[in-house]
Amino acid sequence: MASLPRTAAPHTGCRATASATRPTPPRPRTPSQARRDLRAMTRLNEGASIMEAVQMAFALDADREQVIPMSYEEYLTAFDETTHAEWANGKAIVFMPPNTRHQDIIIFLATLLNLFVKMRRLGKVFVAPVEMKLSPEGSAREPDLLFVAHEHRARITPQRIAGPADLVVEIISPESAARDRSDKFDEYQQAGVREYWIVDPRPGLERVDLWALDEQGKYRPVPAERGVYRSTVLPGFWLDSGWLWAEELPNPLHALAQIAGPDALLGALS
């Protein structure tokens, strides 16, 4: 079955807010990254399709995402809905497949969040690749996980989330750290993403950062209590960061029973 192309985003108003201090400064593109971009663009000029150029670039440099300058309108028709790609600052970023640890954490968090949200009837959880168009003129991001509250369900369209999600989760991979901690931090804050989780599972660098918008529209860190983070967007939800670093992640049902209580869990399942 042929995949459907992406379609243009409807106009959505999002409030602009002041920028907070970035957790870490952005890093300039390296010469190897610039050469990779040039390789992809050279293949396009030689008549290859965008996906053919990306595939050839991945064959030469399989450990990095591919970056191709293009308009948002070109981006909508260049990639199908199965491709994990984003658009920002006049460029499409096509991501390499995640590693198994990255996937383990996404599956655990997605299952846990989805069960909790459904049990409390709070909204809807999505997993990448789902486009979140932050504003009509802004970036088109595909977070690893996102949550849209019931009161903002009008932002959910068949093609994308038209506007900011209420909660976004990004799992850091080796090439995404600067982007997740600086570029996306600023974009999500300005667009009004109410809560932003950054999970870094890289060996020796394991950490979780939770950021919540304050009354001035700036991200403030949500402190942990003995490694436990409590969400400001999902009432009653908390996350033990130690769960994420275990060699084998816990059963999401067992984790949910700890969060909501076994009686609440049994009642939701009955």
| DSSP code per residue over 75-104 | HHHHSBTTS-EEEETTEEEEPPPPPHHHHH
pLDDT of res. 47: 52
* Lowest-confidence pick of 55-64, 135-144, 241-250: 55-64
Predicted confidence band at 223 (pLDDT cuts at 50, 70, 90)? Answer: very high
* Sheet with 91-94, edge to edge strand ranges: 66-69, 91-94, 85-88, 140-141, 132-133, 161-162
* pLDDT value of residue 266: 76
Q: Which value, in Å, is the radius of gyration of the alpha carbons in the chain? A: 19
- Model pLDDT, residue 38: 47
**Cα separation of 236 and 224, whole Å?**
15
> With 80 as the cut, is the pLDDT of residue 112 above it?
yes
pLDDT at 248 over 90: yes
CA distances from 260 to 108, 195, 236 (A): 16, 20, 7
| Angstrom distance (rounded) from CA 270 to CA 264 | 10
Range scoring the smallest mean pLDDT among 26-30, 80-84, 115-119, 199-203 = 26-30
100-269 is classed in which CATH architecture?
Answer: Alpha-Beta Complex (3.90)
What percent of the chain stands above pLDDT 90?
A: 53
Percent of the chain residues past pLDDT 70, beyond the cut: 74
Among left, alpha and beta (phi > 0; psi -120 to 50; other), residue 89 is left
pLDDT at residue 14 is higher than 50: no
Q: pLDDT of 29-69, one tens digit each?
A: 554 554 455 445 545 555 555 555 555 554 445 456 778 88
The label of the residue with tokens 């042929």 reads: 2
Average pLDDT over all residues of the chain: 82
Provide the whole-model pTM.
0.71
Judge whether residue 203 has pLDDT over 80. yes
- Of 160, 166, 215, 156, which Cα lies nearest the Cα of 188? 166
Q: What is the mean pLDDT of residues 121-144?
A: 93
How far apart CA 193 and CA 189 sit, in angstroms, is 6
Domain boundaries, the chain: 31-94, 100-269
The reported pLDDT for the residue numbered 11 is 45
What is the arithmetic mean of pLDDT over 175-204? 94
CA-to-CA distance for 141 and 128, rounded, in angstroms?
Answer: 10
Tally of residues, the chain = 270
| Cα–Cα dist 176/219, whole Å | 20
